[in-house]
Amino acid sequence: MTTELRARLRTLPSFPRELPEFAPDAAPTTPQELFLAWLDEAVATGVLAPHAATLATVDETGPSARVLVLKDVDADGWAIATPADSRPGQAMTASGRAALTFFWPALGRQVRVEGEVRRADAADAAADFRDRPAEARATALVGRPTPTLADDAEYAAARAEALARVEADPSLVPETWALWWVAPGTVEFWQASHDRAHTRLRYRADADVWVRERLWP
């Protein structure tokens, strides 16, 4: 069984026949510019959830990872939102560090952002929260009296109560809602190639400039 599974896993499709060219020597001077160009191409190619990234954090119990959506990119870095009292929120507060990984299989591309985390100020977090649809705001407002859920009825009651609060006060923002900026020390761009001679380009922050370095495939 294991042998069969191993053989099957080796034959699963990864990338389309045509993959884009990536000329690292012609890459822009900042990783933000290249990231936004690649994000545009992912959108144009029809990649679903192209703004979804895996956020990796570490706390005293070890590493953990989950998918989140990108909120913004600017000269300071990459912004994400997750509650301050969630596992990643607490881990980022304690360690001050995180990694984000984007994967766009239709283009054979991966981007890895690693660096220091800064929590955005309350006004920025509130603006992000108020931009969410009412249902998403209600989901975030649902109180979690216990770490695990007893049954659907328990959740339905808590959610109905949260939805009523959101409808009564559309400006409501939970204190724990938080926006975080990952200010990268490194950003790596990976372009797959069918001959497995993949292309990797890393931007490394060095004082005020971005150093561009090729990495072995």
Ligand X SMILES: Cc1cc2nc3c(=O)[nH]c(=O)nc-3n(C[C@H](O)[C@H](O)[C@H](O)COP(=O)(O)O)c2cc1C
If one counts every other C-beta atom within 10 angstroms of the C-beta of residue 141, the result is: 20
CA separation for the pair 108, 22 (Å, rounded): 11
Tokens found for residue 10: 């080796």
- Exposure of 34 by Cβ count < 10 A (0-12 exposed, 13-18 middle, 19+ buried)? buried
Distance in Å, CB of 72 to ligand X, minimum: 12
Whichever of 29 and 64 has its CB closer to ligand X, that residue is 64
CA separation for the pair 21, 155 (Å, rounded): 48
Query: Is residue 81 a contact residue for ligand X (CB under 6 A)?
Result: yes
Do 83 and 140 form a contact (C-beta atoms < 8 A)?
yes
Whichever of 51 and 204 has its CB closer to ligand X, that residue is 51
Q: Is 150 helix (H, G, I), strand (E, B) or coil?
A: coil
Tokens 């984000």, located at residue? 100
Query: Is residue 156 a contact residue for ligand X (CB under 6 A)?
Result: no
Query: Is residue 87 a contact residue for ligand X (CB under 6 A)?
Result: yes
Query: Is residue 209 a contact residue for ligand X (CB under 6 A)?
Result: no
Q: Among residues 36, 44, 49, 157, which is the contact residue for ligand X, using CB under 6 A?
A: 49
Q: Among residues 42, 77, 78, 82, which is the contact residue for ligand X, using CB under 6 A?
A: 82
Query: Is residue 27 a contact residue for ligand X (CB under 6 A)?
Result: no
Query: Is residue 149 a contact residue for ligand X (CB under 6 A)?
Result: no
Return the sign of the alpha-carbon dihedral for residues 19, 24, 27, 32: positive
Per-residue string for binding with ligand X, 51-80, x by CB under 6 A? -x-----------x-xxxx-----------
Residues that bind ligand X (CB under 6 A): 49, 52, 64, 66-69, 81-82, 86-88
